[in-house]
Amino acid sequence: MKNTISERVADFLKAYPPFSNLLKAQLEKLSQEVTIIYKEKDSFVFKVDESAHIQFYVVHKGAVALWNKEEKAVLDICDEGDIFGLRPLMANENYRLTAKSEEETILYAIPIEKFRPYIKENRRVADFLVESFASNTRNPYDKSNRGQLLGDSFQSKTGNSSPLLDLQLVEFSKNIESASEQTTIKTIAQRMTSKGIGAMLIEKEGLPQGILTDKDIRNKIATGDYSITAKAKNIMSSPVITYPPKLTITQAQMAMMKSNISHLVLTEDGTVNSKAVGILSKHDVMLSLGNNPAVLVKAIKRTNTVQEIKPLRNGVMNLLRGYLEQNIPMTLTSKIISELNDACIKKVVELSLAQMEEEPPVPFAWLAMGSQGRSEQLLHTDQDNALLFADVPKSKFEATRNYFLKLAQIITKSLNTIGYEYCPADMMASNPKWCNSLSGYQKMTTKWIVNPGPDEVLLSSIFFDYNRSYGDKILVSKLSQHIFNTVEEYPIFLTHLAAGALTNPSPTGFFRQFLVEQDGKHKDFFDLKLRALMPLVDAARVLILSRNVPDISNTWERYEKMAELEPNNKELFLACSYATKALLRFRTKQGLQNNDSGRYINLEQLNKEEKMKLKRTFKTIKEIQEVLNVRFMVSRIL
Amino acid sequence: MALKKEDLPAFWKNYEASIKLGQPKTISYATFVVIDTETTGFDLKNDRILSIGALRLRNGEIKAKEAFEVFLKQSTFDARTVEIHGILKKGPRNRISEIAGMEKLLVFLKNSVIVAHHVGFDVGMVNQALRRNGLPKLMNPKLDTAILFNKSLPRTKRKTNGHYSLDALCEAFEIPKTDRHTALGDAYITAIAFLQILEKLKPASLEQLLKKDRFWEFWKPA
């Protein structure tokens, strides 16, 4: 029977997944089965190898640490709302970890037999558990879970199969031109002409009565059926077809097809009895439809000026927002968005070349560096780029470089016009340092690899992720080959690069509190880029360089390649690949939400689930950093 | 009128028999019942119990299912206290007679150690109800969280009258005051406070714990 205690338990549990996915009655029933357990500081809940209890635990107050087998390292700290001790119950095995209270703690113990039915019935509960087990086993790629975790697992709202356009809302004109029923056709036609519109809304007492379109004038006036002095009332189409303003493109298309009309009136509540808020034309629908990758790429290719690219970039952002909302897998999302970004850059280079008075004197390549080079730049961020041109005789070097510097200036300016900020560190091809011949770059990179100081390591970490956006392939692969050969000769460079990758401490060891910024503009914010993404990106670079694998610059693809090369570390590498994608998705979502780069996260805005996901990636970061430390003997140089 | 020994109902006889079993000496094996009553007022003679909440505590564990909660039908009623506990004489809850409530309570209590905040008042109210129904007084060992809390403080910080409100304990132990002033809600708060007090006192045995509590000395009705 339900009582004050079980109500209190239910009230607490309902705020946390997976219980938040249960119905009220289910949760009430489950709560009656709960045992409330008080644990003083440093007391055991269970120990390694102990046989599984009949119940699993949720922390109500306080904190419980999970220790590894030797009780030497804390693997996780569970605090309010965290679940632990469930996996062994599901897997029918003994505890693999020791759970010990870090402070005075109150636990809710939930009998597994009372909970099991909900796992079977409720997909969201099951998904959550898979997700949280992944955080213990660290491997969301476990075969049995495969597919469930690729995207966001909490996606059942919309289902996976809905076509992309289905969810895209139409954009419509909010400037409504309207006239009264008594207005003459002549006046209306004059206004439509001066405003450049194809339809006029006819209103009476602020409510839509009818609509008058170009077609009405053609069919009813030009044919002579009505005089040009006729009133709007005589020839308007009435009643109007109205819809609520939150209409998807598909719905709008269907509506127009169904009634064979070219304009929909959108009203506050979707009926003719509320105020009109907008008019949607067939043309608007066609434009919205244009926000699909293939159409966008075509549109980008067709542009003749840089100014025309800018609005198309906005289309790319809309597309990105839609993809994230629909939880399209990150691999696909970033591929499409990178492709579109690439198309923009290619077009910019082409347009800039056209502005030059002469053809390029020698073959060249335009390289994207940093996050763009890694195809991990989804939001607009800074431009990091370089220009590589073929070797020329010494006497011609200055003239050649001057030509390309001029070109680079045009390109970087154009990129800025379409939304790429200038790089504050001036890592741009318009800087002579980043506009060089093949042998120039070879000399520079050799210097970095042979004498790696902190600056050299930093420069390599940006430059070595280059990716060709335009130009000569052979030049680029020659440079790559040079870098790999030199690294092989001077393996100490890898140790320095690894040390560089370890300079940003992983956010672990701060389980309960995220490591937040201590001062400055972003005080108390979590720096997602520096604390979480960069360590993974840096580690991937060192690893892939050490294995001599050219041509993969994307971080998760690097990890996937590593997993292929080292089957015994497969689990960790795949976890890294997954963590990178999860973090990038996170950053992009945050960026779109707050209209910034998404780098700094306000932790208070995160929900439990998001915090859990972040925390899970931290464990992976810590492990990969340990691997680097050991493999490249970083301690040797520290 | 007190019933003659042979006329006592079976549930009382069972209760008395269980009391004789006593309690294990080790604290973690002992069963405590944490109890709270909501009443029409603070006068032991004239006021009546409106509801009793209780829960069983063993080895630091409370089972939600084993919580005890009854609402009693009473003819005496003080509109002033409604403001505190929100229980109207004819509230929507299922109400049972006082004697039925006493029977349920005794079955739940058995030989446990009773724990309450100002236990003298709650036990006193129950004893009055038992007496009205011709039954003897409760026979369980009793512990008062107000007194134990006082004992858990450093000597210099103790109060001479040992009087602390349940709210004061909530603040000391950072217990949220949700469900305050429902019998079971207050019993839960008392239980959590009791567990934390035990942690501070660290009594070696149940006997030692009971010695720390001489509640009658301190209980003076307001």
ipTM: 0.83
Q: Write down the pLDDT at residue A72.
A: 72
Q: Which amino acid is it at A124?
A: R
Answer yes or no: is pLDDT of A394 > 80: yes
Q: Write down the pLDDT at residue A302.
A: 81
CA pair distance B53, B32, nearest whole angstrom:
14
Contact B64 A9 (CB under 8 A): yes
Contact B64 A40 (CB under 8 A): no
- For A291, A357, A441, A539, B23, the CA distances from B199, given in Å and listed in that order, are 65, 86, 69, 47, 20
Q: Which amino acid is it at A70?
A: E
Tell me the average pLDDT across A596-606. 76
Q: Write down the pLDDT at residue A143.
A: 29
Contact B64 A5 (CB under 8 A): yes
- For A399, A404, A447, A459, A469, the CA distances from A440, given in Å and listed in that order, are 15, 14, 11, 15, 20
pLDDT band at B131 (very low <50, low <70, confident <90, very high): very high
pLDDT band at A509 (very low <50, low <70, confident <90, very high): very low
* Chain A nearest CA to B179, separation (Å): 8
Contact B60 A35 (CB under 8 A): no
Q: pLDDT for A91-119, tens place per residue?
A: 778 888 899 988 888 999 999 999 988 88
Which one, of A374, A371, A373, lies nearest residue A388 by Cα? Answer: A373
Q: pLDDT for A213-268, tens place per residue?
A: 888 888 888 888 888 888 988 888 888 888 887 777 667 777 777 777 788 888 88
Contact A38 B61 (CB under 8 A): yes
Contact A36 B61 (CB under 8 A): yes
Prediction pTM value: 0.49
A419: left (phi over 0), alpha (psi -120 to 50) or beta: left
CA B186 to chain centre: 10
Residues B158 and B150 sit within 8 Å (Cβ to Cβ): yes
Contact A4 B53 (CB under 8 A): yes
Q: Write down the pLDDT at residue A512.
A: 43
Q: What is the CB-side half-sphere exposure of residue A207 using CA atoms within 13 A? A: 9
Cβ atoms within 10 Å, residue A569: 18
* Chain A nearest CA to B60, separation (Å): 5
Facing residues of A231 across strands? Answer: A184
Which stretch of A256-260, B41-45, B204-208 has the lowest confidence by average pLDDT?
A: A256-260
Residues of chain B with Cβ-Cβ distance to A4 below 8 Å are: 53, 67, 69, 179, 182-185, 188
Task: Give the one of B62, B69, B196 whose C-beta lies nearest to A35's C-beta.
Answer: B62
Return the residue matching tokens 């460079």: A493
Contact A5 B195 (CB under 8 A): no
Residues of chain A with Cβ-Cβ distance to B184 below 8 Å are: 3-5
CA pair distance B88, B51, nearest whole angstrom:
11
Which one, of B58, B157, B176, lies nearest residue B115 by Cα? Answer: B58
Task: Give the one of A11, A34, A104 whose C-beta lies nearest to B64's C-beta.
Answer: A34
Tokens of B97: 């007679």
Residues of chain B with Cβ-Cβ distance to A32 below 8 Å are: 64-65
pLDDT band at A156 (very low <50, low <70, confident <90, very high): very low
Q: Of A33-37, A218-222, A278-282, A336-340, give the range with the top mean pLDDT.
A: A33-37
Tokens of A598: 């998404």
Residues A363 and A475 sit within 8 Å (Cβ to Cβ): yes
Is B126 in a helix, a strand, or coil? Answer: helix
pLDDT band at A432 (very low <50, low <70, confident <90, very high): very high
Contact B63 A4 (CB under 8 A): no
Tell me the average pLDDT across A539-557. 89
CA pair distance A134, A140, nearest whole angstrom:
5
Contact B64 A39 (CB under 8 A): no
Q: Write down the pLDDT at residue A289.
A: 60
* Chain B nearest CA to A34, separation (Å): 6
Residues of chain A with Cβ-Cβ distance to B61 below 8 Å are: 35-38, 109
Q: Mind giving me the DSSP string for A582-625?
A: HHHHHHHHHHHHHTS-S-EE-GGG--HHHHHHHHHHHHHHHHHH
Q: pLDDT for A120-153, tens place per residue?
A: 788 778 777 766 665 443 333 332 332 222 223 2
Residues of chain A with Cβ-Cβ distance to B196 below 8 Å are: 38, 104
CA pair distance A138, A141, nearest whole angstrom:
9
Q: What is the CB-side half-sphere exposure of residue B70 using CA atoms within 13 A? A: 20
Residues of chain A with Cβ-Cβ distance to B188 below 8 Å are: 4-5, 8
Interface of A with B (CB under 8 A): 3-6, 8-9, 11, 31-40, 104, 106, 109
Tell me the average pLDDT across B78-103. 69
Contact A38 B192 (CB under 8 A): yes
Q: Write down the pLDDT at residue B212.
A: 79
Interface residue of A3, A14, A105 to substitute, partner B, most B CBs within 10 Å:
A3
Task: Give the one of A35, A39, A40 whose C-beta lies nearest to B64's C-beta.
Answer: A35
CA pair distance A518, A230, nearest whole angstrom:
73
Q: Write down the pLDDT at residue A638.
A: 58
CA pair distance A251, A245, nearest whole angstrom:
11
Q: In this structure, what DSSP letter does residue B221 have?
A: -
Q: What percent of chain A has pLDDT over 70?
A: 86
Q: In this structure, what DSSP letter does residue B203 have?
A: -
Q: What percent of chain B has pLDDT over 70?
A: 86
Q: Write down the pLDDT at residue B181.
A: 73
Q: Helix, strand, coil: what percent of chain A each, to 5?
A: 50, 15, 35
CA pair distance A596, B145, nearest whole angstrom:
55
Residues of chain B with Cβ-Cβ distance to A114 below 8 Å are: none
Contact A6 B62 (CB under 8 A): no
φ, ψ for residue A484 (rounded to 5)? -65, -40
Task: Give the one of B61, B65, B179 whose C-beta lies nearest to A37's C-beta.
Answer: B61
* Chain A nearest CA to B211, separation (Å): 23
Is B69 in a helix, a strand, or coil? Answer: strand
CA pair distance A416, A380, nearest whole angstrom:
10
Question: Which is higher by pLDDT, A613 or A274?
Answer: A274
CA pair distance B38, B183, nearest whole angstrom:
6
Q: What percent of chain A has pLDDT over 90?
A: 24
Contact B64 A32 (CB under 8 A): yes
Answer yes or no: is pLDDT of B87 > 60: no
pLDDT band at B53 (very low <50, low <70, confident <90, very high): very high
* Chain A nearest CA to B108, separation (Å): 15
Which one, of A371, A357, A417, A409, lies nearest residue A387 by Cα? Answer: A409
Contact B62 A109 (CB under 8 A): no
CA pair distance A178, A30, nearest whole angstrom:
59
* Chain B nearest CA to A344, separation (Å): 57
Question: Which is higher by pLDDT, A190 or A504?
Answer: A190
Burial code of A120-137, b = ≥16 C-beta within 10 A, e = fewer? eebebbbbbbbbbbbbbe
Q: Which H/E stretch holds residue A418?
A: none
Interface residue of B37, B115, B180, B184 to substitute, partner A, most A CBs within 10 Å:
B184
Q: Of A369-378, A580-589, A612-621, give the range with the top mean pLDDT.
A: A580-589
Task: Give the one of B62, B184, B199 whose C-beta lies nearest to A36's C-beta.
Answer: B62
Q: Write down the pLDDT at residue A69.
A: 75
Task: Give the one of A5, A37, A109 whose C-beta lies nearest to B55's C-beta.
Answer: A5
* Chain A nearest CA to B200, separation (Å): 10
Interface residue of A8, A31, A32, A36 to substitute, partner B, most B CBs within 10 Å:
A36
Detail the DSSP E strand segments found in A478-567. Answer: 526-527
Tell me the average pLDDT across B26-33. 92
Tokens of A67: 């220790």
Interface of B with A (CB under 8 A): 53, 55, 60-65, 67, 69, 178-179, 182-185, 188, 192, 195-196, 199
Please count the residues of chain B. Answer: 222
CA pair distance A115, A119, nearest whole angstrom:
7
Tell me the average pLDDT across A451-469. 87
Q: Mind giving me the DSSP string for A254-313?
A: HHHHHHT-SEEEEESSSSTTS-EEEEEEHHHHHHHHT-SHHHHHHHHHH--SHHHHHHHH
CA pair distance B135, B138, nearest whole angstrom:
9
* Chain A nearest CA to B109, separation (Å): 18
Residues A59 and A105 sit within 8 Å (Cβ to Cβ): yes
Q: pLDDT for A39-75, tens place per residue?
A: 888 899 999 889 889 999 999 888 888 887 777 777 7
Residues B129 and B49 sit within 8 Å (Cβ to Cβ): yes
CA pair distance A103, B174, nearest whole angstrom:
13
Tell me the average pLDDT across B148-154. 87
Contact A4 B65 (CB under 8 A): no
CA B210 to chain centre: 15
Q: pLDDT for A302-341, tens place per residue?
A: 888 888 888 888 778 777 877 776 667 777 778 888 888 8
CA pair distance A322, A289, nearest whole angstrom:
13
* Chain A nearest CA to B29, separation (Å): 14
Which one, of A133, A106, A107, lies nearest residue A119 by Cα? Answer: A133
Question: Which is higher by pLDDT, A170 or A373?
Answer: A373
Which one, of A394, A379, A637, A616, lies nearest residue A507 by Cα? Answer: A616
pLDDT band at A34 (very low <50, low <70, confident <90, very high): very high
Facing residues of A364 across strands? Answer: A389
Sequence-distant (≥ 6) Cβ neighbours of residue A550 within 8 angstroms: A477, A480, A481, A484
CA A33 to chain centre: 41
Question: Which is higher by pLDDT, A290 or A174?
Answer: A174
How many residue pairs from chains A and B have C-beta atoms closer than 8 A?
59
Residues of chain A with Cβ-Cβ distance to B183 below 8 Å are: 4
Answer yes or no: is pLDDT of B52 > 90: yes
Please work out, in degrees rounded to the nearest 5, the angle formed at the alpha carbon of residue B105 by the alpha carbons of B99 and B110.
Answer: 130
Strands B31-39 and B49-58 turn out to be antiparallel
pLDDT band at A351 (very low <50, low <70, confident <90, very high): very high
Residues B104 and B11 sit within 8 Å (Cβ to Cβ): no
Q: What is the CB-side half-sphere exposure of residue A575 using CA atoms within 13 A? A: 24
Strands A64-67 and A98-101 turn out to be antiparallel
pLDDT band at B130 (very low <50, low <70, confident <90, very high): very high
Peptide bond into B141 cis (omega under 30): no
Residues of chain A with Cβ-Cβ distance to B195 below 8 Å are: 38
pLDDT band at A371 (very low <50, low <70, confident <90, very high): confident
Residues A630 and A497 sit within 8 Å (Cβ to Cβ): no
Q: What would you report as the CA-atom Rg of chain A, rounded to the nearest whole angstrom?
A: 31
Q: Which amino acid is it at A194?
A: S
* Chain A nearest CA to B58, separation (Å): 9
Helices (H), A356-393: 370-373
Contact B61 A32 (CB under 8 A): no
- For A6, A182, A202, B70, the CA distances from A218, given in Å and listed in that order, are 72, 20, 18, 82
